[in-house]
Amino acid sequence: MVSISNFGDLAVLSVDNPGVWTDAEAAALLHPDDARRVQTALTDLGYTVIPEEPLWAPYDGVWDPAVFGPSEPSWWIRYFDYL
């Protein structure tokens, strides 16, 4: 699964749904040729492919609770979730 950021030209390649597998597990599950082909296509389209796992860390930037809701924001929510 490819997720495209709401802000900028960032993309994440996940196996299944985002947040299900660690980056190491995803690399083991996704055939290297498939991963390379998708990453090449995304790069050719101008996207920067980033690892998913660091995006689950708490967001430490400025945020409005009215926008992020009752949960603590993560980098994933900030850049890839619907706000």
DSSP 3-68: EE-SSSSEEEE-SSSTTSS-HHHHHHHS-HHHHHHHHHHHHHTTPEE--SGGGGSBP-S---HHHH
Residue recorded with tokens 């299944």: 16
Query: Count of domains in the chain?
Result: 1
Give the domain range for residue 75: 2-79
Per-residue pLDDT tens over the stretch 8-51: 899 999 988 888 999 999 999 999 999 999 999 999 999 999 99
* Structure confidence at residue 13 (pLDDT): 93
- Residue among 77, 82, 83, 27 nearest 57 (CA): 77
- d(CA 41, CA 39) in angstroms, rounded, equals 5
**Cα-Cα-Cα-Cα dihedral sign, residues 77, 20, 1, 32:** positive
pTM to 2 decimals? Answer: 0.82
Confidence of residue 68 (pLDDT cuts 50, 70, 90): confident
